[in-house]
Amino acid sequence: MFREIKLSDKAWMDRCRLYALQEMTVVSFPAVYTWQSTFGLTIDGDSRFYVVRSEADKGYYYPVGETEACRDYVLSLLSGSLKLIYVPKQEIGWLESLGFTIKYEPDTSEYIYSSRSLAYLDSGSGSNYRVKIRHFSRDNEWHAKPLIFPGDEALLRAKTADLNGVFSHDAAEDYLALHCAAANPAEIGLSGVYVETGTHDWAFLLGYPSTGRIYDMSFVKYSPGISRNAVPVCISEMAKLICNTWPLVNLEDDLGIEGIRKMKKLYHPLCLLDSYTAVH
């Protein structure tokens, strides 16, 4: 029986991801929990796996958990038409043997980077990234502090409230997810970094450990008066905090938006986590 995703589901979903060879952060608990209202996400499963149904996508996320349990669930759905999204690459051959048509989805593939490079500890992130950080420091006096939960909820909620009304109509869904994240950051498993300039403009980044080797940087938001070069500054400061624990950073997908795609490519990703859709 599909139902809403609850904070109490985190331990179960984290455990199921340990069994799965699925590193895409879009299927993780923090992503599914914070975006459930936006995309109409509901969840089902048992102790061996979970499956997310998306009203917005008119389909299911490929089940996450023990391989055989996930496959059994897919087989149980084959009585009618079926759309599976975020399909792991290793399951493509099996799905094709069942008659599924597979489509590569570049717009929802996720960008993976070296955390040391993003931490500005080597030149692997590319000159564009480094130049933007230098320009921000040239133009601003600024300082950064970690966001640690529990502890910094009041600051996060205050800055999230400041953004209400600043968002464009197209970004309303993004604000809904951010508001959900700010309501319970500790329970979701979030951490972050906060940057403030001498003129009291600010930016913050929120993220979470996606797997044992990948840290996901999920939200980057900033006040209207600050330079957008605050974005790579936040990324760099967060990378400095986590690079000794998580060697890789996921900066998520580009949604097919050319400006975001260009930026993420200029930051020199190591690879993409490829996204696939399967239709039967």
The arrangement of secondary structure in 110-252, i.e. its CATH architecture, is 3-Layer(aba) Sandwich (3.40)
Average of per-residue pLDDT values in the chain = 95
- Split at pLDDT 50, 70, 90, the class of 170 is low
- CATH number belonging to domain 7-108: 3.40.630.30
- At residue 56, the pLDDT reads 96
Domain with CATH 3.40.630.30 in the chain: 7-108, 110-252
Residue 167 has pLDDT above 60, yes or no: no
Which pLDDT tens digit goes with each residue over 3-29?
999 999 999 999 999 988 789 999 999
CB distance 43 to 33 below 8 Å: no
79 torsion bin: left (phi>0), alpha (psi -120 to 50), beta (else):
alpha
pTM equals 0.95
